[in-house]
């Protein structure tokens, strides 16, 4: 399993992903699911991947080889985020089709992606690319996208994230959402990759990779627990407690 | 879908359940999923139900009729919580078996229950009764049980609930967990039934039924949102924010 989040705020973008892959309970590996494609001053693009690892690796490999070979369509030359998402969706669907045709045991080769970034002076955008080869952008009301094990970490995003949320607060919220998920689902795990991109920067952004015992990650988790206890204490008393 | 919680603290028990039932998206009803069996001064027993409504209604009906008819085994005469849970598990498995034998279309008749309370001077206990007719109690580390749509509301319980959590704080935590779930899953909905039972009381406990527009429920949700924003604000800054 996997958990990835992207948030699109007025100040910029947040991307966050875990690094655990598993094929059954006894076959666990660490692979980063965050792939960045940056041409400083021109474009910053980020791809987060969930699903069949052979599919997602083949898709990322194809994206890089198309860039290196200056293919007719590639991430460096795509005119906008939407057409770049369509290009990735088309690669993903093609890879899955190829693997399905080879397979004799109805394996699930599906992969889901979050793709986003900024190209030149365009607005930053984020897209969720489905295994079926189509894609959607985030909603205006809830400007975030999730893939993988989405339920544990959704309530905090639902309650906090708006377009106007400051960029670093959105990033802290993403880390909390990720932390709630890694605590509850064994197949989502550290290192946690975080990238914070300021609108208009067209650079590599601020990037962190937090291991399980990283002091910053531990402090985050401890402070969050304390904050929740205080939040609970601040809730209204039951009517019979007031007498 | 359904969401029910039971918490077993040093001070007593909390039970919380939603009231929405649905058979498809266009067939929604309101049924309380909290059933109480109280003989003041003798025993307080609570049953929360999830799953096939025909099954859960038949189980509750059978429990009441066994009490009224002073059947050889019934909730009023069970010597302890464990044997009472076994009695309910046996009814549930029997009802499902009967319905499966009648059915020609492999319908899912499964039902899951949380059952708990206190009998005389015994310790209060909570049990999760599986559709298969067996049951488990809560863990010492995480002294709560959930049935139905459990993921959205689990992180807050994981982080807060311990044996030593004060009873009313555990109840507020259950309401927050329920609120997170009703916001995220349309098939979990108000009125929210809450029962707070103080250890040793052997009474009806404190009981509330919170409708969607109940001022207390609204205030809870608003205060919680504010508390979360403060908790986020209290988190450590990123290294580059400190310069």
Residues of chain A neighbouring B181 (CB-CB closer than 8 A): 155
Q: Residue B11: its pLDDT value, please?
A: 98
Percent of chain B at pLDDT exceeding 90: 92
Q: What does each C-alpha distance from A137 to A7, A85, A100, B45, B128 come to in angstroms? A: 11, 10, 28, 49, 41
Q: What is the ipTM of this complex?
A: 0.91
Handedness of CA A167, A168, A171, A172 (dihedral sign): negative
Residues of chain B neighbouring A153 (CB-CB closer than 8 A): 155
The whole-angstrom separation of Cα B209 and Cα A95 is 53
The residues of B whose Cβ lies within 8 A of any Cβ of A are 151-156, 158-160, 168-169, 171-173, 176, 180-181, 183-184, 196, 206, 208, 216, 219-220, 223-241
Q: Residue A56: its pLDDT value, please?
A: 97
Contact B225 A159 (CB under 8 A): yes
Is residue A237 over pLDDT 80?
yes
**Minimum Cα–Cα distance from B181: chain A residue:** A155
Number of CB atoms found within 10 A of residue B140's CB: 9
Q: Is B156 helix (H, G, I), strand (E, B) or coil?
A: helix
> What residues pair up with A193 in beta bridges, in sequence order?
A17, A209
CA distance A206 to chain B (A): 9
The whole-angstrom separation of Cα B234 and Cα B193 is 33
Is residue A110 over pLDDT 90?
yes
Summary mean pLDDT of chain B = 96
The token pair that represents B23 in the structure block: 């058979």
Q: What is the largest CA-CA distance in chain B?
A: 76
DSSP assigned state of B151: S
Q: Residue A225: its pLDDT value, please?
A: 94
Question: Is B33:B188 a contact under the CB 8 Å cutoff?
Answer: no
The whole-angstrom separation of Cα B207 and Cα B198 is 12
Q: Residue A97: its pLDDT value, please?
A: 97
Is residue A243 over pLDDT 80?
no
pLDDT, greater one: A122 or B22: A122
List pLDDT tens digits, range B104-122: 998 999 999 999 999 999 9
Is residue B185 over pLDDT 80?
yes
Q: How confident is the model at residue A26 (pLDDT cuts 50, 70, 90)?
A: confident
Best residue in A183, A228, A237 for a mutation probing chain B (most B CBs within 10 Å): A228
Residues of chain A neighbouring B222 (CB-CB closer than 8 A): none
Is residue B23 over pLDDT 90?
no
**Minimum Cα–Cα distance from A205: chain B residue:** B240
pLDDT, greater one: A50 or B187: A50
Residues of chain B neighbouring A159 (CB-CB closer than 8 A): 180, 183, 224-225, 228
CA distance B234 to chain A (A): 7
The whole-angstrom separation of Cα A182 and Cα B184 is 19
Question: In angstroms, how far is CA B51 from the centroid of its own chain?
Answer: 13
Q: Which residue has the tokens 């093609």?
A: A94
Is residue B24 over pLDDT 90?
no
User: Helix, strand, coil shares of chain B as percentages rounded to 5?
Assistant: 35, 30, 35
Contact A153 B153 (CB under 8 A): no
Is residue B187 over pLDDT 80?
yes
**Minimum Cα–Cα distance from B218: chain A residue:** A236
Summary mean pLDDT of chain A = 96
Q: Residue B26: its pLDDT value, please?
A: 86
Q: How confident is the model at residue A37 (pLDDT cuts 50, 70, 90)?
A: very high
Residues of chain A neighbouring B235 (CB-CB closer than 8 A): 172, 176, 220, 223-224, 227
Is residue A77 over pLDDT 80?
yes
Contact A240 B158 (CB under 8 A): no
Residues of chain B neighbouring A228 (CB-CB closer than 8 A): 156, 159-160, 227-228, 231
Mean pLDDT confidence for A152-158? 96
Contact A176 B232 (CB under 8 A): yes
Contact A173 B232 (CB under 8 A): yes
Going by C-alpha positions, the residue among B235, B120, B119, B126 that lies closest to residue B170 is: B126
Residues of chain A neighbouring B208 (CB-CB closer than 8 A): 238
Mean pLDDT confidence for A33-61? 97
Report the residue from A155, A183, A224 with minimal CB separation from B180: A155
Percent of chain A at pLDDT exceeding 90: 92
List pLDDT tens digits, range B65-78: 999 999 999 999 99
Residues of chain A neighbouring B220 (CB-CB closer than 8 A): 235-236
Q: Residue B40: its pLDDT value, please?
A: 98
Is residue B243 over pLDDT 80?
no
Q: What does each C-alpha distance from A89 to A78, A136, A139, B154 come to in angstroms? A: 14, 11, 20, 34
List pLDDT tens digits, range A198-221: 999 999 999 999 998 999 999 999
Mean pLDDT confidence for B30-34? 96
SS (H, E, C) chain A: CCEEEEEEECCEEEEEECCEEECCCCCEEECCCEEEEEECCCEEEEEEEEECHHHHHHHHHHHHHHHHCCCCCCCCCCCCHHHHHHHHHHHHHHHHHHHHHHCCCCCCCCEEEEEEEEECCCCCEEEEECCCCCEEECCCCCCEEEEECCCCCHHHHHHHCCCCCCHHHHHHHHHHHHHHHHHHCCCCCCCEEEEEEECCCCCCCEEEEECCCCHHHHHHHHHHHHHHHHHHHCCCCCHHHHC
Mean pLDDT confidence for B133-138? 97
SS (H, E, C) B183-221: HHCCCCCCCEEEEEEECCCCCCCEEEEECCCCHHHHHHH
Q: How confident is the model at residue A22 (pLDDT cuts 50, 70, 90)?
A: confident
The CATH T-level fold of domain B3-234 is 3.60.20
Contact B228 A159 (CB under 8 A): yes
């Amino acid at each position: 399993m996997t958990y990835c989040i992207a948030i699109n705020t007025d100040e910029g973008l947040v991307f966050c992903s875990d690094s655990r892959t598993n094929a059954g309970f006894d076959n666990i590996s660490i692979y980063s699911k965050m792939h960045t494609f940056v041409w400083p001053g021109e474009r910053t693009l980020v791809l987060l991947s969930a699903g069949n690892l052979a599919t997602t690796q083949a898709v990322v490999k194809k994206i890089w080889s198309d860039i290196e070979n200056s293919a007719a369509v590639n991430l460096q030359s795509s005119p906008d985020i939407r057409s770049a998402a369509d290009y990735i969706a088309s690669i993903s669907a093609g890879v899955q089709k190829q693997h399905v045709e080879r397979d004799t045991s109805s394996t699930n080769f599906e992969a889901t992606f979050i793709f986003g970034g900024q190209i030149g002076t365009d607005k930053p955008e984020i897209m969720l690319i489905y295994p079926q080869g189509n894609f959607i952008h985030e909603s205006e009301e809830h400007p975030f996208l999730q893939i993988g094990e989405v339920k544990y970490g959704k309530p905090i995003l639902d309650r906090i994230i708006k377009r106007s949320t400051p960029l670093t607060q959105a990033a802290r919220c993403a880390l909390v959402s990720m932390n709630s998920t890694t605590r509850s689902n064994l197949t989502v795990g550290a290192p946690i990759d975080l990238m914070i991109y300021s609108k208009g920067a067209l650079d590599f952004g601020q990037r962190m990779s937090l291991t399980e015992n990283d002091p910053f990650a531990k402090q985050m988790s401890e402070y969050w627990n304390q904050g929740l206890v205080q939040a609970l204490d601040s809730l209204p008393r039951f009517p019979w407690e007031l007498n």
